[in-house]
Structure 1
Amino acid sequence: MGAEHLIINREASQAALILGLQPAALIDHVARVDWSLLDQIPGERGGSIPVAIEELEHILSEVKTHILDEPSPIKTIAGGSVTNTIRGLSVGFGVPCGLIGAYGDDQQGQLFVSNMQFSGVDVSRLRMKRGPTGQCVCLVDASGNRTMRPCLSNAVKIQADELIAEDVKGSKWLVLRFGMFNFEVIQAAIRIAKQEGLSVSMDLASFEMVRNFRTPLLQLLESGDVDLCFANEDEAAELVRGEENADSEAALEFLAKRCQWAVVTLGPNGCIAKHGKEIVKVPAIGEAKAIDATGAGDLFASGFLYGLVKGLSLEECCKVGSCSGGSVIRSLGGEVTPENWQWMRKQMQIRGLPIPDTRT
């Protein structure tokens, strides 16, 4: 099946305007839980710390006794930050997208591929490999904040030397997420993308990732090969920690010196962005009630990238991002429901933004 996937729709795959690099396919197990479970789990609440498969299975078994008012306890879907962004672009904005990466020859791998195909994402660049598919437990508290515990240590993933120019030919953007686990793959993908004339968008992943691997992150940013960078306020704070004015504005300036577009999302306070000399601040959408913050930044990126490929202004890109980011937090998990896509389109209409032509 893996070989078929590399051949299927290769012509169609050329048309993918935006490609996501998800080196290891990931399945999310999302559940709303009470605080007592979060107190039992090692690591800071609200962050993302890798765990072994035994720990992941233990957390999943505990979840069932700590569920908050959900009729179905655990929602299992294709996950990963880049996957969420690409699926959002495909389903919610009708942008032709594809994914580059690998998935395991197990039930989770099949679930990942079928979810992506159903979402209209080109999967011809996904390689099937022998071994397990990555998994992540996403625990959401009563306030909608999420704590993630990914298990990727033994998951199959694409290797740097497996990436080829053919993977990115004809596309305009490569979307990726910073991570030490995949650093060589990220470097190789950026090198190939730049050779083929693609722009590169990078998300800073988590405040722990910025804190623990600041040197390689700076190496990527200083290269000038990252055209667009997204950071949330926690990641932004880590980026400029120790500087005189270590706030979101300082982080925005820091990123804007190294990237063409810099965006810092501020949760309920909206976002700030800079391109060239232009700086904009856009409020969040007040009508967005947060059930689960999972995917808010990922879907913000979907909207912002849609704005860029449509040629919208910086402020409009941020507004579309706020609409799409607001749509995903209204239900559980990083996948937007059809009702919430309708809600997003209504918000875009109110703000005079171009409505995407989609099948949702």
Structure 2
Amino acid sequence: MGVGEINHTYSHPPKKSGQVAPLILGLQPSALIDHVAKVDSSLLDRIPGDIGGSIPVAIEDLESILSKVISADDTSPLKTLAGGSVANTIRGLSVGFGVSCGIIGARGDDEQGHVFVSNMLSNEVNLSRLRIKEGPTAQCVCLVDAVGNRTMRPCLLGAVRLQFDELTREDLRGSKWLLMRYAFHNLELKRNAIRLAKQEGVSVSIDLASFEMVRNHRPSLLELLASGDVDLCFANEDEARELLSGEAKDGPEAALDFLAKHCQWAVVTLGPNGSMAKHGEEMVRVPATGETKAVDATGAGDLFASGFLYGLVKGLPLEDCCKVGACSGGAVIRSLGGEVIPENWQWVYKQMNTKGLPVPNRLTLTD
């Protein structure tokens, strides 16, 4: 599979005839802004809800949490950036690996919407398929403790989002991959996206989102996988266990085998224990990269997907795809937020070079 010519366009109207479509598109129905901060346990104790969880909050609660973070005697500043699993993966593919990428979704014409646009454009992501709507852009507070664990409070109520009937074949035409995250509340949109992708000859990649999503909406997920329309599926270890919960064999290996029966490529990430992947009869297991201390676990799986997909579009062997994923996934946890900062991309390239993997050349990535 070739990478195709790199071309970046940033206009907001639908792409015009003659423009080269991004190689990879990410479907994120709602643009999202993450407010990320390193905090101590005393502040977490003052936040309603369980530490380490993700509980939806109203805008007033989100603003109250932000005020506590800002006023806290903490040397770590608040970091505000475009967020969301799909956005994290697309941003990594674009700025770190030089693959032409775009986002499909909607954002509000507000301060948060403009921050999302600024962050993604600065990382060379095509936003010509990002709709502008009246209403607020989704936000999330991500509080990171001393060992890198996250406590998340998303504010999604009333946020603008792309509706299922607003997606068109034109959005997908000319691209090779469509990335999305499994979510039951957007399932109608996801099904329509997959249907249109198949009509356009676009391959589909799905991330299983969270073990709670798999647990609570397993029948719909199994139906989606059984359709045979999902070409690549990413799951972490917890999601993999939930996928086959109650079965005689329900561990990561069994889940990998199950996914590989329905998808051309199946990947299960195992945190510090590396990853497993299967394509046809080929199965590989790859260790994690280096002795990286986790500053913030946000985006580890998302950036693993960036590296894996880079390897896939470059035509690398399955094991090497996992190795690249291990490098980029290991890099993002070295700093706050779901994006890899420039010095950590240099760390990625050094790791790749050491392992004999092809380091991206932004000027010649036209295979």
TM category (shorter chain) comes to: over 0.9
Aligned-pair CA distance for 1:6: 1.6
1:179 equivalent in structure 2 = 183
TM-score normalised to the size of structure 1?
A: 0.93
1:350 equivalent in structure 2 = 354
Decide which of 74, 84, 90 is 1:80's aligned counterpart.
84
Q: 1:68 to 1:246 in 2, by over 3 A?
A: farther
Superposed, 1:267-306 pairs within 5 Å as 267-306=271-310
Deviation digits for residues 66-92 of structure 1, max 9, x if unmatched?
A: 56541x2x1000110000000000000
1:263 equivalent in structure 2 = 267
Q: How many residues align?
A: 353
2:242 equivalent in structure 1 = 238
1:130 equivalent in structure 2 = 134
Partner of 1:123, secondary structure, is strand
Deviates more, 1:241-250 or 1:80-89: 241-250
Deviation digits for residues 190-222 of structure 1, max 9, x if unmatched?
A: 111111001100111111111111122112111
Deviates more, 1:95-104 or 1:216-225: 216-225
Q: What is the identity percentage for the equivalent residue pairs of Structure 1 and Structure 2? A: 70
Aligned-pair CA distance for 1:245: 2.8
Letter in 1 for 2:12: H
1:114 equivalent in structure 2 = 118
Decide which of 13, 21, 26 is 1:20's aligned counterpart.
26
Letter in 2 for 1:159: Q
Letter in 1 for 2:141: V
Q: Is the 8 A contact 1:34 1:67 kept in 2?
A: no
Q: 1:261 to 1:48 in 2, by over 3 A?
A: farther
Superposed, 1:209-220 pairs within 5 Å as 209-220=213-224
Aligned-pair CA distance for 1:57: 2.0
Decide which of 248, 254, 260 is 2:252's aligned counterpart.
248
Partner of 1:113, secondary structure, is helix
Q: Is the 8 A contact 1:291 1:330 kept in 2?
A: yes
2:12 equivalent in structure 1 = 5
2:332 is aligned with 1:328:
yes
Q: Is the 8 A contact 1:18 1:173 kept in 2?
A: yes
2:226 equivalent in structure 1 = 222
2:7 equivalent in structure 1 = none
Q: Is the 8 A contact 1:100 1:125 kept in 2?
A: yes
Letter in 1 for 2:317: S
Aligned-pair CA distance for 1:98: 0.7
Q: Specify every segment of 5 or more residues in structure 2 that has no aligned partner in the other structure, as ranges.
A: 1-10
Q: Specify every segment of 5 or more residues in structure 1 that has no aligned partner in the other structure, as ranges.
A: none
Letter in 2 for 1:50: P
Deviation digits for residues 138-185 of structure 1, max 9, x if unmatched?
A: 111111122222211210011111111110101000000111222111
| RMSD, aligned α-carbons | 1.7
1:63 equivalent in structure 2 = 69
Letter in 2 for 1:58: S
Q: 1:137 to 1:258 in 2, by over 3 A?
A: same
Deviates more, 1:280-289 or 1:158-167: 280-289
